Structure 1
Amino acid sequence: MFAVKHFVRVNLNSNNNSISKISIRTINHQCRLLIVGGGSGGMSMGAKFAKDYKQDDIIIVEPSNLHYYQPMFTLIGGGIKTFDKSHRQTKNIIPKKVKWIQDSVTQFKPNDSMVITSEGDKISYDYMLVAMGLVLNYNQIKGCEEALACAPDSGVCSIYSPKYVSQVLPTLENFKSGNALFTFPHSPVKCPGAPQKICYLAEHLFRKRNVRDKANISYITALPVIFGVKEYAKSLVKVAAKKKINVKYSTHLVEIFPDKKEAVFQNLNDKSCTTEKYSVLHVTPPQSTPPELKAATHLTNEAGFLDVKKHNLQHVKYPNIFGIGDCTNSPNSKTVAAVAAQSQVVYKHLKALMDGKVEKQSKYDGYASCPLLTGYGTCILAEFDYNLERKETFPIDQRKESWLMYQLKKEAMPPLYWHLMLNGYWNGPEFYRKMLHLGMV
């Protein structure tokens, strides 16, 4: 529906004051389900619900022209995949019957079941799904954006952003000798295994280029452990030791001096700072929910994450609002695999509510997966739940490095994402896990 407002403008520069009328179009939308965000969670949920509702009953608000398969960024950084394979036009993956509004939500008004976009449009909804993901805060590290702008010559790189990922491989290939530092920030991150994946790939690349003996490699993490799940952590500590990678814990990057190729790190325990020279510095930026969501304090917790019930991702205060993916305070690892597992649970609970029913059976157990590349041709496939207990799909010991898991990450997961998940058909490997374990899990 279109509402036209007329504003009066008085022209004071003419001898005779004239009055002119400017028409500004503001648009009011009404939908059954509003999805805020067109990432993996928003698109996959839009595809699921599009099968049940009429044209334009569902609206997705997403500003970007391009949709990225972000798990491929590590492979791009290691030269395994090319950047052009990582993204598609948003218009080509929007589910049929779903209306795409290419804009951003700037205000949430849950008491009125309405949002306002940056263009001033008002969207009223019966139900809303928040799928806004996380934003990358490179600017929280002094000197970081300046250094990244000069890559690969600066030696600073990052796989996390489509803006910078293509400079990672040239930066690693430029390395001749010195310190190669790989960081993990003092904040939640999406794909928390990625910072060490690129570290292991770089180490292998240095060996292939015959410069490994001239490299002092460090993985510097703000966490007190190398990985949150103890049994996988044991394996990864051995991998790092085998590759002679120095692991520093409870330490995060706070400043970069690009002109001197120096980085300042702070120890989170005693707050002391140290400065290190680098030839290569891979930066994992601090991350947070988008500022528009953080500002909606009636919807979020103190950290700015959408406040939901962890077993069905329904909002704790507003029953007609659900969340999915990285922007929620659900205490799971932030991965695409987690989104896939969440999607079917959220769909069942939200669809039941929309139909005037109650879903009692389906629960999200915190499942997440992280294919931890440990080199070219090897991978540890970590799968776990809220309790940080292993929840492995294959009837093999996935704590061990595997060529098969590497091929799964490299060859199988991208088409699974583009053709199944984004079309609403992939809900995680639960069915296959039961089948492969003969129903014994």
Structure 2
Amino acid sequence: MKLPLFKSLLFLSVAAFPLSCAQNVAPTSATVQTPAASQKAVKVEVRKKNGRFQLYRGGKPYFIKGAGGGRYLDQLAAYGGNSIRTWSTHNAQQILDEAHKHGLTVTMGLDVARERHGFDYNNAEAVAKQLAKLREEVMKYKDHPALLVWGIGNELNLSYSNPKVWDAVNDIAKMIHEVDPNHPASTMLAGLNKKEVDYIKAQAPEIDLLSINAYGDLPSIPGRVREYGWEGAYMITEWGPTGHWEGPQTPWKASVEETSSEKAAVYRSRYEATMGKDTERCLGSYVFLWGQKQERTPTWYGLFTEQGEESEVVDVMHHLWSGKWPQNRAPHLTYVHLDGKKATDNIYLKPNQSYLIQTEVTDPDRDALTYRWELLSESTDLKEGGDAESRPGAIPGIVQDQGKGQAQVKAPEKEGAYRLFVYAYDGKNNVATANIPFFVKK
């Protein structure tokens, strides 16, 4: 069943990803663990037997059913998940303790500086200083029983040119092996290509397993791992909807987002095509994002809304992890139309004119639905690699609800790009979401 949510005021950002820990909810008796202070490190290792790689934790096989983020850990554990991933050691003690309390493990991120943010890997002094700082972090958390894997940096291959970064990654992994013999070291790549595989094989042999962030191209990863010559194990450390860089775009360069129900379908198909099939090399995955963030839109990557409602994607993950559907499921959104057009129809509206919005939403449990409409200017604070973006402010008084999934929108007077959002709630903390980009032009 779905548990009630306990809200947190801290939002997630992915660059250094300072994560808020899940709220201090008393765990159920089934998930209570012995206090971490009285525990020792649990040995984690990658083993190969008969051509198959497998992760072992405490001497037992361990397949990662994980999510990126540090919130809603009670729900994650209740729905069949077993691990979380962070992007840095921010709030690490709190996150590790909370994860342990819920019977979860943590792939702990080490925030390694990125060339695209101005770090120079030719600067030996800066590189040595970074290594020393990371050594302190590893020493501080290496014996926590919830620790699973060390994640060295995130997407260090994004917009970079200096391959010396892989020498630094190797030095970090070597340091980890020297001070922490109980946990493997990995590094997280943005996608997968042969150049990075070759660099890592040649310059970072201390890496125990490869980690890959992939979205629309996730099903191609098992084949490309082999094609590009990676001979070891890997895990998927970010995956989810079609990325904003992968799908359709309007003539004014607004990316078209899938509805929550379209996302539910692609999450299932991509999981089954990748983690569900590659039993030889894949050690599991972390779905992105077990929380909410602004990245292109407020709804693109989060499986939850800003208020903590759960989307249909959460239901899918519940089923993929546990083999069971929740007792009460999220609404299903079939379509949303603006002036009779769908999001990919490149919609132009006239200033100050009114247009009809129609959406069809059904609820599997026949719960009564309520709707919320929101109009935002198209975001202009666009970053890459998950760096923090600011949310556009809502434009009030523009949309008038007419009930039963219909509304009237009065196009803004000012020319430009906008995006109309619909949220359909079932009153049981579940939601369906969709949005349509449009352009106001005289």
* Greater fraction of residues in helix: 1
TM-score between the two structures when normalised by the length of structure 1:
0.26
Larger Rg: 1
TM-score between the two structures when normalised by the length of structure 2:
0.26
